[in-house]
Amino acid sequence: MFIQTPYIQNFIKNKIFIKFILITNLFFLVFQNSYSQSIYSNNFSDRIANYTISVELEPKTKVLTGKMLLEWTNTSTDSITELQFHMYLNAFKNSSSTFMRERDEAFGGIDFTEFENMWGWIDIISIKIADGEILTSNMKYIQPDDNNIDDQTVLALTLDKPISSQEIVNLEITFIAKLPEIIARTGYSDDYFFVGQWFPKIGVLESKGIRNSTETKWNCHQYHSQSEFYADFGVYNVDITLPEEYIVGATGFLTKRETNEDGSKTHYYTAKDVVDFAWAASPDFVEYEKVWKGTIIKALMQPEHESLAYRHINATILAINYFEENLGEYPYPNITIIDPPFKGMKSGGMEYPTLFTTMSLSYMPFSVKIPEMVTIHEFGHNYFMGILATNEFEEPWLDEGFNSYYESKILKNNYPVFSFLGYNIEDIEIQRAGYTLYFNPQITDIDNFAWNFPLGSYSVMSYNKPALVLKTMENLVGEETMLLIMKTYYDRWKFKHPCSNDFIEIANEIIKQEHGNDLGKNFNWFFQQTIFGTGICDFKLASISNTLTSENTSGVYDQNGVKLTVVPEETPYIYQSKVVIYRLGDVKIPVEIQVHFENGDEIIEKWDGEESLKTYFYTGTNKVTWAKVDYLDKILIDINRNNNSFTLENNNLAYLKYTNKFLFWLQNFIQTIGFLV
Amino acid sequence: MSIISSYTRGFKQSIKSPRMLLILYAVNLLSALILVLPFFQLFRNSSANTLEVNKLVDNFNFSYFVDLWYTSKDAFISLFSQIKWIVLLYWILNVFLIGGIIRVLSKEKFSISDFLSGASLNFARFLGSNLLIVFLQIILAAIIWIPFYIGIKILFDSIDNEKVIIILFFSFLILHALAAIVLMMINDYAKFHLILNNSKNIFKAVYASAKFVKSKFFSVYSLYLLLLIIPVVISYLYLKLSGDIGITTVIGLIFMFLIQQFYIFTKVWLKVWFYASQFNLFTSDFIKKERHKLNIDFIENIEDKLIEIKDKILNTDSETEEEAVG
């Protein structure tokens, strides 16, 4: 059902419509329930952390009161005496939190007086083992990353009795939280609520062999300005109570809705095999729904953005199609798109399992594809970090970079991001510009903890450069091999916690299988330089020269005291041609060089890129007229592709064309100024 | 004189002096070339024999410009920073040339000596009135946008969504444009006032011109809006046409260059048409007032006499009204 036409808008006023909606909603509830039961007949994941949460939101005070039952399994081989929890909302508690200090440092001079009444926090009121000991007094805040004693985003709970390997523990927790006015991702704006990272969330216990762990330890980082999240898979059963006028969208699917005696409504949601649970509520949401290949796509739009609903839904469909064809089936029965209001825009562009927030602006021209770009990117996160649940704290490139790579591919297949008066710019070009124009692309490597990226480099090194690296890799190994690598990576690591080395291992395996030793013993030489190194790649076709050889001479020569005039023979000139290539950057990648002769002949040379300088010599009757290194434009990480080629036959048409454009623009500009003033 | 007759008479006057139009066009072209020639050199040298530039022939290539910026950012920034001086130069030249334009319009025939003497005689006072109007434009902008900014800040909490802000913004923009047009008209009529009254008092001229615009608001504003229709239509036609012309060959480039220069020439001519039409409207009112001052019945030769007086004033350096009448 897709509500769009004026006929339907008139229909809305009709009471029959009310009944139609009720019946349809009932149908969808039944449909979702039965569908979900069938698709979830098997566990997708280990379901290590399962939550049953009852929460009530008081919109006036912005307070959440909740109680939860956490069922957690110690999957390690060791007994543990401590549990660690993320208390993310405490990042917004005061200006001394790590998040706020880092944000102040990044953006300089935040006026915290603006934040009066806007702070947010979370407290555990009580915590106990179900039918067991009360542990409330065993809590303390710790700061594993930066020793900032004022930061309260990680809570350690000392256990009275250790939890053995493979033991399941049930914890009953009551908590209270105050939502902040939206500073980043979560909070409220007027009566719009986006509730993410809102409950005490257990960290990930990584035992030996999980990711890079050599011993069993908690991987539970503080909430940093530049970091996102990491959690185990589980089942979430969440009931949310709030005033009846609020429309709710959440992770998972709605199983039932009840009206309470006080007039409030409780919405019951279930989400299985997910790493997080987020939800949004607003009395202003307008619902749009479409079923695509069995997936229910729901968009909760602000009234002023309704005209953009179809853009978000269509973009989601494109993304579903692409990912299912090229990576793996989307395993969940639904996806919810949340459209924040303008004043809640800081919650936009963010991902959660089976739910994401997008970005819309009234009067957004159709030619500007920002809504589509954000939607496709955020949907993609369901795969990268939602299903391939990488550690966003420690390896942000594994979700952001991979997602940016797929975002470019999906957009390229369908439309450029910006199109205006015939000027088209593709997404991958914007990614590349972000990297090449960054003031110091060598400032750090991709593989870095999120909060350790030097100022301003987080997005370049997590989004832009990894997308280019993956695209370059695709160009080098071939599209089919890359497809196989990604599918294998997805199949082996879905619903688990892969790390960089896991991906690299699969890449090496598949490349070896498909290409033998053509690309080296393994592909580590590429990863070492592009992911773990800081060098830049820059090949330059430095010069071409064509020199006449002495075989063909003419002129006056002294021979035995006699002046002898030599007339050139009637044979073609012989040229000694030289093509010189520099490797200006530290990154060494095998390249192909196309050398073109004046008679149209071409030679393709292959160079391993090891030396800093490479020279090719040719002898023949035809001059070399132009040459190009990386002639197929495979290496997107090359920081300057304009110097990849050299020609002796300049085509001035392009220069004249754009000079003419500049002339016209300038003439217009000064004429207009002269007219106006 | 009615709006329509001012408009049509202005059109006829504007096409009577093609040499003047060519001079004005040449000034525009030469001013732009001051920067464009170095741009061409820089562009070509920065691109340094690359094949990548060929990608620009068929289509726009964003990556090419990104890499160009990577290698030559400083040089291009330095070049583009000179645009402000070109704008200033052209503005001053415009102020200079307006005096010549009005002289030619009033004499209804072109001679280079008349044009230049009219330009040089009136430059100082026209510069003064222009600067005053620029100042008033800044005040106007402040009057409109400061309250907008403050209003948005105060009302932000009660604003539901960005549609309100966007609509308010465009409403203020339209209001600003309409008000700025009034100041532009006052500027134009002030020049006519300075000439016809042989005055150097720019404040008095601007004040009188404002009074004139106020008293004839419907006529002057309608005439201005009527004149604005042409550039809007021409711009629309150009945009439609330019989209269909591909510059992938030398012939295409030459054709596009000619179309674009014709477009610029048309804008130059439209400016003269603007002045001519407004001048006609102003002088018809001026003559009526002068006739009233002289308190004589309307007869054809008296009107000719007034026009002769007017011409004498325009043509002499410093001549009193009595001398001219005598």
For every residue of A76-142, DSSP letters joined together read: SSS-EEEEEEE-GGGGGS-TTSHHHHHHHHHH----GGGGTTT--EEEEEEEEETTS-B-GGGEEE-
pLDDT in tens, A465-518: 999 999 999 999 999 999 999 999 999 999 999 999 999 999 999 999 999 999
Report how far residue A397's alpha carbon sits from residue A45's, in angstroms, rounded to the nearest whole number.
Answer: 23
Report how far residue B135's alpha carbon sits from residue A402's, in angstroms, rounded to the nearest whole number.
Answer: 54
B62/A433 CB distance under 8 A = yes
| Residue A73 backbone class (left: φ over 0; alpha: ψ -120 to 50; beta: rest) | beta
Report how far residue A18's alpha carbon sits from residue B240's, in angstroms, rounded to the nearest whole number.
Answer: 48
Q: Which residues of B touch A642 (CB under 8 A)?
A: 47-48, 50, 52-53, 64, 67-68, 71
Report how far residue A120's alpha carbon sits from residue A284's, in angstroms, rounded to the nearest whole number.
Answer: 23
Q: Where are the beta strands (DSSP E) in chain B?
A: none
Name which of A186, A342, A347, A306 is nearest B156 in CA terms. A342
Q: Pick B60's closest partner by Cβ from A423, A436, A677.
A: A423
CB atoms within 10 A of CB A210: 18
A655/B134 CB distance under 8 A = no
B130/A677 CB distance under 8 A = yes
Q: CA of A304, closest CA in chain B: separation in Å?
A: 7
Name which of A247, A372, A395, A384 is nearest A310 in CA terms. A372
How many percent of chain A have pLDDT more than 70? 91
Query: Which parts of chain A sit beneath pLDDT 50?
Result: 1-40
Report how far residue A667's alpha carbon sits from residue A657's, in angstroms, rounded to the nearest whole number.
Answer: 15
Report how far residue A286's alpha carbon sits from residue A23's, in angstroms, rounded to the nearest whole number.
Answer: 18
Residue A349 CB contacts under 8 Å (≥ 6 apart), including other chains: A357, A358, A359, A374, A377, A378
Q: Pick B161's closest partner by Cβ from A341, A422, A675.
A: A341
**Residue B316 above 60 pLDDT?**
no
Q: What is the pLDDT of residue A210?
A: 84
Helix (H, G, I), strand (E, B) or coil at A173: strand
How many percent of chain B have pLDDT more than 90? 59
**Residue B239 above 80 pLDDT?**
yes
Q: CA of B301, closest CA in chain A: separation in Å?
A: 37
Report how far residue A350's alpha carbon sits from residue A99's, in angstroms, rounded to the nearest whole number.
Answer: 17
CB of B39 within 8 Å of a chain A CB? The answer is yes
- Window from A363-367, B3-7, B166-170, B245-249 with minimum mean pLDDT: B245-249
A674/B91 CB distance under 8 A = yes
Of B280 and A513, more confident: A513
Mutate to test the interface with B, among A631, A671, A673, A676 (most CBs of B within 10 A): A671
Q: What is the pLDDT of residue A573?
A: 75
Q: Pick B91's closest partner by Cβ from A652, A656, A677.
A: A677
Residue of chain B nearest A362, judged by CA positions: B163
* The token pair that represents A318 in the structure block: 């494109």
CB of B101 within 8 Å of a chain A CB? The answer is no
Q: Pick B253's closest partner by Cβ from A303, A421, A657.
A: A657
Q: What is the pLDDT of residue B301?
A: 63
B62/A429 CB distance under 8 A = yes
* The token pair that represents B169 in the structure block: 């913004």
Q: Pick B28's closest partner by Cβ from A433, A648, A670.
A: A670
Asked whether A225 and A379 are in contact (CB, 8 A), the reply is no
pLDDT in tens, B284-306: 877 777 767 666 555 556 667 67
DSSP, residue by residue, A329-379: ---SSEEEEE---GGGGGG-SEEETTEEE----TT--TTB-HHHHHHHHHH
- Report field, pTM of the whole predicted structure over 0.90: no
Q: CA of A407, closest CA in chain B: separation in Å?
A: 18
Report how far residue A375's alpha carbon sits from residue A368's, in angstroms, rounded to the nearest whole number.
Answer: 13
| Residue A108 backbone class (left: φ over 0; alpha: ψ -120 to 50; beta: rest) | left
Chain A with chain B: Cβ pairs closer than 8 A: 169
ipTM score here? 0.87
A670/B70 CB distance under 8 A = no
Q: Which residues of A touch B64 (CB under 8 A)?
A: 642
B264/A425 CB distance under 8 A = no
In eight-state DSSP terms, residue A388 is B
Could you tell me the sign of the dihedral formed by the alpha carbons of A437, A441, A445, A451, in that order?
A: negative
Q: What is the pLDDT of residue A29?
A: 45
Q: What is the pLDDT of residue A347?
A: 96
Q: What is the pLDDT of residue A3?
A: 31
Q: Which residues of B touch A342 (CB under 8 A)?
A: 161-162, 165
Q: Which residues of B touch A111 (CB under 8 A)?
A: none
Report how far residue A396's alpha carbon sits from residue A466's, in angstroms, rounded to the nearest whole number.
Answer: 10
A658/B43 CB distance under 8 A = yes
Asked whether A121 and A178 are in contact (CB, 8 A), the reply is yes
Residue B60 backbone dihedrals phi, psi, to 5 degrees: -75, 135
Contact residues, B window 156-185, toward A, CB-based 8 Å cutoff: 156, 159-163, 165-166, 180, 184
Asked whether A407 and A379 are in contact (CB, 8 A), the reply is no
Residue A321 CB contacts under 8 Å (≥ 6 apart), including other chains: none
Residue of chain A nearest B31, judged by CA positions: A667
Map A416-450 to HEC letters. Answer: CCEEECCEEECHHHHHHHHHHCCCCCCCCCCCCCH
Domains (range + CATH), chain A:
46-280 (2.60.40.1730), 406-530 (no CATH), 539-650 (2.60.40)
**Residue B104 above 80 pLDDT?**
yes
**Residue B312 above 80 pLDDT?**
no
Residue A277 CB contacts under 8 Å (≥ 6 apart), including other chains: A51, A53, A199, A236, A238, A250, A251, A252, A269, A271, A352, A353
Could you tell me the sign of the dihedral formed by the alpha carbons of A205, A210, A215, A219, in that order?
A: negative
Q: CA of B117, closest CA in chain A: separation in Å?
A: 21
Q: What is the pLDDT of residue A21?
A: 46
Rounded to the nearest angstrom, the gap between the alpha carbon of residue B118 and the centroid of all alpha carbons in its chain is 18
Report how far residue B41's alpha carbon sits from residue A111's, in angstroms, rounded to the nearest whole number.
Answer: 48
CB atoms within 10 A of CB A113: 6
Q: Pick B67's closest partner by Cβ from A361, A421, A642.
A: A642
CB of B83 within 8 Å of a chain A CB? The answer is yes
A628-631: list long-range contacts, CB under 8 Å, 24+ apart: A628/A541, A628/A593, A628/A594, A628/B51, A629/A539, A629/A540, A629/A541, A629/A581, A629/A591, A629/A592, A629/A593, A630/A539, A630/A591, A630/A592, A630/A593, A631/A592, A631/A593, A631/A594, A631/A604
The rounded mean pLDDT for chain A is: 90
Q: Pick A645's closest partner by Cβ from B52, B94, B267.
A: B52
Name which of B235, B285, B286 is nearest B263 in CA terms. B235
Report how far residue B326's alpha carbon sits from residue B324's, in angstroms, rounded to the nearest whole number.
Answer: 5
* The token pair that represents A92 in the structure block: 């917004």
Mutate to test the interface with B, among A653, A661, A669, A673 (most CBs of B within 10 A): A653
Return the half-sphere exposure (C-beta side, CA atoms, 13 A cut-off) of residue A48.
19
Asked whether A411 and A467 are in contact (CB, 8 A), the reply is no
Q: Which residues of B touch A425 (CB under 8 A)?
A: 62
CB of B197 within 8 Å of a chain A CB? The answer is no
CB atoms within 10 A of CB A259: 10
Q: CA of B122, closest CA in chain A: separation in Å?
A: 17
A676/B91 CB distance under 8 A = no
B267/A644 CB distance under 8 A = no
- The single-letter code of the amino acid at A171 is L
CB of B50 within 8 Å of a chain A CB? The answer is yes
* The token pair that represents B43 in the structure block: 């562009």
H or E segment to which residue B221 belongs: helix B217-244
Q: What is the pLDDT of residue A11?
A: 40
Q: Where are the beta strands (DSSP E) in A383-528?
A: 418-420, 423-425
Region B253-266 average pLDDT: 92
Report how far residue B285's alpha carbon sits from residue B302's, in angstroms, rounded to the nearest whole number.
Answer: 16
Q: CA of A650, closest CA in chain B: separation in Å?
A: 6
Q: Which residues of B touch A422 (CB under 8 A)?
A: 60, 243
Q: Pick B36's closest partner by Cβ from A647, A650, A663.
A: A663
Name which of A291, A300, A303, A293 is nearest A1 in CA terms. A291
The widest CA-to-CA distance across chain A, in whole angstroms, is 125
Asked whether A624 and A577 are in contact (CB, 8 A), the reply is yes
Q: Which residues of B touch A582 (CB under 8 A)?
A: none
Mutate to test the interface with B, among A301, A339, A367, A664 (most CBs of B within 10 A): A664
Q: What is the pLDDT of residue A161?
A: 93
